[in-house]
Structure 1
């Protein structure tokens, strides 16, 4: 029986697996892999016949400062809802794109980024990453149509309550396709 020689690719593969086992290196590697997906994956608009309709509602939330707010969803303004967490590599990978989108559309679109984490942890994360995003903590259960067990899950809901996009997993929210869609939705 012939003895197999180790190749450089074998060593790299073993090193990669070992790095994934170490908690300090696992998350950065997972974020990097998800960023590769974000580069090529733009969210898809639902076919018109598959677009669900929500009943307009007021989303009761608390912001990072502890102030309670009620944000209208599906009534008169386009809404971007994101369910995310600071420990979630796909969430971390797509947040820079959401930040860019918020910078340009924050006055035209309701951005609601929801997390269930401790406010102090979220504040540390946001400060470290230098994000200026509207982060909220839900104070009510979302309508059934917006309940999803996977994060990140993001929705683009038009001013009449139609779910135009529902995307689970990391995606490029700062793509030209999304910007054209938001331009169209906010001009109506």
Structure 2
């Protein structure tokens, strides 16, 4: 079960409490601009975000400074929100390598836990998300 007690902030400095995602389908991705596998999977993340941004919550987390993140996002035409952690990661998200992506169902159960690059816009991921939305 997912621990929702976690604070994040966006580039404007607005605090986002992960608790607000409780009861929703969430795609949580830990990444960095200097990480080749992260960069490799970002186009598929953007495509998935474009199609599902109004249906599920996307939470992209990086420890990098927003000046670096913003430049990377603008250069690549990505428009999803990125957050920096402002509190300690919950234990189930204490990751050791990136990219690391979790797909979390409405009940808080982690359905997908993937370390390394993946095609997040593939049919199997979309089918899983559609199933989770309907639950």
How high is the TM-score relative to the length of structure 2?
0.94
Q: Which runs of 5 or more residues in structure 2 are unaligned?
A: none
How far, CA to CA, are the matches of 1:76 and 1:144 in structure 2? 19
- Aligned twin of 2:123: 176
Structure (1 or 2) with the larger CA radius of gyration: 1
Q: Which structure 1 segments of 5+ residues have no match? A: 1-52
Pick one of 103, 107, 110 that aligns with 1:160.
Answer: 107
Q: Report the RMSD for the aligned CA atoms in angstroms.
A: 1.3
User: Which 4+ runs in 1 deviate beyond 2 A?
Assistant: 71-75
Q: Measure the CA separation in 2 of the matches of 1:148 and 1:70.
A: 19
1:44 alignment counterpart: none
Deviation (angstroms), 1:80: 0.7
> Does residue 151 in structure 1 map to residue 102 in structure 2?
no
Aligned partner (choices 114, 123, 133) of residue 70 of structure 2: 123
Residues 126-145 of structure 1 mapped to structure 2, 5 A cutoff:
126-145=73-92
| 1:142-172, Cα deviation, whole Å (9 max, x unpaired) | 2111111100000001010101000000001
Flag the structure with more relative contact order, 1 or 2, with Cα contacts below 8 A and sequence separation at least 6.
Answer: 2
Q: CA deviation at 1:67?
A: 1.5
